[in-house]
Structure 1
């Protein structure tokens, strides 16, 4: 999470936010069967559209710590030999699934700021023989990837956590080759969130406080030089706590899958 002054709104304490996000997702990595405000694991992946036959081919421990909000692979169109970047790769579920589709001649980079998640994913990649998957320390606002070297960028439930989503989308446009695509799942809102929500770092870490109004979210993608071509709502995704459900009902907080392209 990049905290450069020009990228940070005054509404949220980004130092506190980063700390809370890291702690939450460290717990997700180390204690996947604990109590969280969101659903996790194999049953969630299948309800979101992941193919059981593919899930059977990736490390079970990665799927146990899956905490996504949709299935970005549904719109990603990852082909044999593709280079893929997973922003906020977590325990590696989406990265490993992408590697299956990219094949042995493809390459998948995962970027995550939480050390426990990276270590878990990296250890699983070695153990399971995913030689074409590499996990890097970094922030989604500044992925350590060269310009115009990626065919597909994927992300799952992470961009809502960034204080500057426009910055993230500009970085996506930077790393994509002409003709490349962004396929993401994320939390957005139908109505603007009030300041008592957007100023609360705990609610940001819970994937609610940082959720952007859907029209503004798509506008930020377009402003970065990408063209939105498809958006699907994920009605099967639901928050678990009463407070999160209340926000979803009041402000239209919801999960979407979205695909955008970088025109050649």
Structure 2
């Protein structure tokens, strides 16, 4: 399957989600309670639910939380300091950019890069509604980041790198735009231990577009992620599991390669997939 086909499938899915939210006038309210802070209000997505504490999203537009389709909370795990420059790869509706902007304060900047016009429109609306003035949303591909070398202190991302068709290039670009000593701190779905031999046709699973857009088929193994970061030049690499998944967590459109497995075997395979916090550093 070619890279453009993957990119088009991902863009179509996330553009559609953003367009739905932009058309929903009821979503203009702000998140002031737990009833409105789960992505499953939009899609029934258990992978994305319950990632943010109520106090974190207080005062943010409801559309921010509804458009949050990640697998973790990188802003809670990363160390952000006032005055820092943060970049979110695949910023979507903007939740992690807005939370980062709050933490780096008026002397800092939080950038978000996204390839979908609809998500960028939604993110900019959300920033305006939240009164956040130090958030900048840029159109671009995370494999070709529209920022100069050494321009940010911290890179975050939330379940987006697994969607990229050119993951090695994404990691190289992340390394390029970080300043020396800069940090890489992303949440992503990772296959720990790789896929077991019972998945006889891994290539077929990787070609499943619906599962790719749903963050399953494009996931890297833990060793692939480590190697990709090291090859890009990163050091101090670590992977920390934040949530290991079960069958009940998976989207309806599981790869066809899973269908032939017994329930016990399917559970074993799915148990290899985990939300993971990936840390690394660019050497000084």
Query: TM-score band (shorter)?
Result: 0.7 to 0.9
Distance 1:124 1:40, change over 3 A: farther
Question: What does residue 164 of structure 2 align with?
Answer: 162
How far off is 1:40 after superposition? 7.3
Q: Deviations over 1:200-226 (max 9, x none)?
A: 222211111111111111110111111
Which of these residues, 263, 266, 269, is aligned with residue 250 of structure 1?
Answer: 269
Bigger relative contact order, structure 1 or 2 (CA pairs below 8 A, ≥6 apart): 1
Distance 1:40 1:92, change over 3 A: farther
Cα distance in 2 for partners of 1:173, 1:57 equals: 33
Question: What does residue 33 of structure 2 align with?
Answer: none
Preserved CA contact (<8 Å) 2:86 2:110: yes
How far off is 1:239 after superposition? 2.2
Question: What does residue 109 of structure 2 align with?
Answer: 107
Cα distance in 1 for partners of 2:185, 2:15 equals: 25
SS at match of 2:46: coil
Cα distance in 1 for partners of 2:275, 2:63 equals: 24
SS at match of 1:151: strand
Distance 1:80 1:248, change over 3 A: farther
TM-score by length of 1: 0.86
Preserved CA contact (<8 Å) 1:72 1:154: yes
Question: What does residue 194 of structure 2 align with?
Answer: 191
Preserved CA contact (<8 Å) 1:40 1:65: no
Question: What does residue 201 of structure 1 align with?
Answer: 209
Cα distance in 1 for partners of 2:268, 2:11 equals: 27
Question: What does residue 124 of structure 1 align with?
Answer: 126
Question: What does residue 6 of structure 1 align with?
Answer: none
Are 1:262 and 2:282 an aligned pair? Answer: yes
Question: What does residue 59 of structure 1 align with?
Answer: 61
Question: What does residue 139 of structure 1 align with?
Answer: 141
Cα distance in 2 for partners of 1:215, 1:163 equals: 18
Aligned length: 247
How far off is 1:248 after superposition? 6.8
Question: What does residue 31 of structure 1 align with?
Answer: 20
Bigger Rg, structure 1 or 2: 2
Q: Which runs of 5+ in 1 are unaligned?
A: 1-11
Are 1:18 and 2:7 an aligned pair? Answer: yes
Which of these residues, 89, 92, 95, is aligned with residue 93 of structure 1?
Answer: 95
Cα distance in 2 for partners of 1:17, 1:236 equals: 26
Q: Which runs of 5+ in 2 are unaligned?
A: 22-40, 259-265
Distance 1:203 1:261, change over 3 A: same
Question: What does residue 210 of structure 1 align with?
Answer: 218
